[in-house]
Amino acid sequence: METLLIAVGSFVGFIVAYHTYGKWLANKIFGLDPTAKVPALELEDGVDYVPTKKEVIFGHHFTSIAGTGPIVGPAIAVFWGWLPALIWVVLGSIFIGAVHDFGALVVSLRNRGQTVGEVAGRLISPRARLLFLLILFAALTVVLAIFGLVIAVIFAKYPQAVLSVWVEIPIAVLIGYYVYKRGGGLLIPSLLALAALYLCIYIGVHHLPIAPFGDQAVVIWTCILMVYCFIASILPVWTLLQPRDYINSHQLMLALALLVGGLLVACITGEANLIESAPSVAQNLPAGAPPIWPFLFITIACGAISGFHCLVSSGTSSKQLESESDAQYVGYGAMLLEGALAVIVILACCAGVGMGVASEDGVLTGIDAWHTKYDANGSWAGFGLTQKVAAFVDGGANFIHTLGISLELAVGIVAVLVASFAATTLDTATRLQRYVVQEIGATIRIEPLTNKYIATGFAVILGGAMAMVPGPKGVGSGGLLLWPLFGATNQLLAGLAFMVIVFYLWRRNKPIWFAAIPMAIMLIMPAWALTWQLFNSETGWLVSENQNYLLGSIGVGTLCLQVWMIVEGLLLLPRSRGVLEEALPPLEDAGAYS
């Protein structure tokens, strides 16, 4: 019963927050105006600027921000105990993450749909724009590596997911051709594709259970995925990414419905018991494990606060909202739903795992089952990304199994869910990285980098090389090393986005405390975590026996960018209060700005 109360309490908390704090932000701080001109109407072009109903934009926005982050982050962080992870997810989503996404969306809406990075060039300084690009480059490089690894890990450990994920690609291409070249509808073909997807899960579970490539499966799958990323990034979006993301949105909603339904049944029947399945606060940590402060705040990035979300808010969603009044629903609401997903993950990795896990000693339950994923008596390095992802897959499958679905099929459903989540992030990140590399090339005048093929190849090769960072089990097993680096760079991006929001309000004599406090947190925590990773005597990338100059150089570079960001803000802050930024040029001259 305690598990059900925690789940329901968290979900009710999100709903109450939306109708209180979210409403206060919308009405008293940002003053959303339903009559204001929005970019989608002012610059409507049928391509990027398209007025769209808020329900449709909500679905796009949520599937874009809810990649594998809210799964992998909580799945790792619960080794400190489920209570700290739960508190950070709930409070972080309400007071930090949703404010960040909502604020970035509003600022972009009022600047003709410009990205937060572009707006920073006018609100703070032109150098802030370059800073944003450099931080994006660092963050997206790690995203390509870590999410490529997540999919490779899923394929290696759960081969029953391989067929479903790869069959979706040609189906998406056919749907794209049918919709955009033949003028067909999208809903019915995507639902048929969803049925085909689940049929392939069934076939994979019962007829293709053997993993190819043996011990090198993770490395080989990562290389294959990087080749796929190159191809997907240079194709027009309508040929693959758009129809595939639409199919994935249906698959995502169905899988989440199964997880929530299974969670409720497991709680009501007493099969799931969070209190007895995992420690609320872990007392004995694995040897070599990072400290909870500050690593909790960067380990759970997506699900509490993620800088990547500002790119979605200001990059695509702001160009499609048909009314300012929809911004709270999309920007604040979608982040709360992602927080709810992270809560489900925490419960799956603890209460779900505690329902039963197969081991050499038979089926273990309770705390014994949890220790198969989070061994306090072992080495932190000995338990890699595979075990953490498996905690959610196994725990989530236990939930779904309570609905009468076979455990084998339930494992396949959750494994495909994780792989599809990661693939959506991987697709988007590769294309974004190509844009970033091209823009950096143009800014610093390196002509070859402005070529889309060279820029894409550079992005993919660098991401693939980082994915091969050696861990305790050799090349390709360094996922737990990469995740804190991803979290730190991602949270630094969030800090910069908050700085843009703060300056937007500061220049208009609006209150800033509700954004300034999260901004400070997102500046302090990543710097603290990176400093520990760089200079810790036992595991530091620059000072320990196991030196890693690739990760070390990225960490040092990120810290330097953070110092630069703080200096830029401090120099400008005293003389910018009440002083509006330079206005955008008239529309007929706004080419580069819109």
Q: What are the tens digits of pLDDT across the range 562-575? A: 888 788 888 888 88
User: Which residue, among 342, 261, 253, has the nearest Cα to 58 in the 3D structure?
Assistant: 253
Q: What are the tens digits of pLDDT across the range 419-470? A: 887 887 788 788 888 888 888 888 888 888 889 899 999 999 998 888 887 7
Domain ranges of the chain: 2-593
Whether 43 and 594 have beta carbons less than 8 Å apart is answered as: yes
Whole-number Å distance between alpha carbons of 569 and 473: 43
CB neighbourhood size of 508 (10 A) = 14
User: Which residue, among 367, 344, 346, 343, has the nearest Cα to 355 in the 3D structure?
Assistant: 367
On the question of a cis peptide bond just before residue 212, with omega within 30 degrees of 0, the verdict is no
CB neighbourhood size of 104 (10 A) = 30
Instruction: Assign 3-state DSSP to the chain and report helix, strand, coil percentages, each to 5.
Output: 75, 0, 25
pTM of the model: 0.91
Q: What is the CA radius of gyration of the chain?
A: 23
At residue 558, what is the residue type? T
Position 339 scores a pLDDT of: 95
Whole-number Å distance between alpha carbons of 395 and 370: 10
CA–centroid distance for 349 within its chain = 18
Q: What are the tens digits of pLDDT across the range 45-81? A: 876 788 888 887 887 788 778 877 789 899 999 999 9
Whole-number Å distance between alpha carbons of 526 and 538: 20
Phi-psi domain of 47 (left: phi exceeds 0; alpha: psi -120 through 50; beta: other): alpha
Whether 150 and 418 have beta carbons less than 8 Å apart is answered as: yes
Low-confidence stretches of the chain (pLDDT beneath 50): 589-594
User: What is the DSSP secondary structure assignment for residue 283, as one 8-state letter?
Assistant: S
Nearest-5° angle of CA 2, CA 6, CA 10?
Answer: 170
Tokens representing 193 are 């594709």
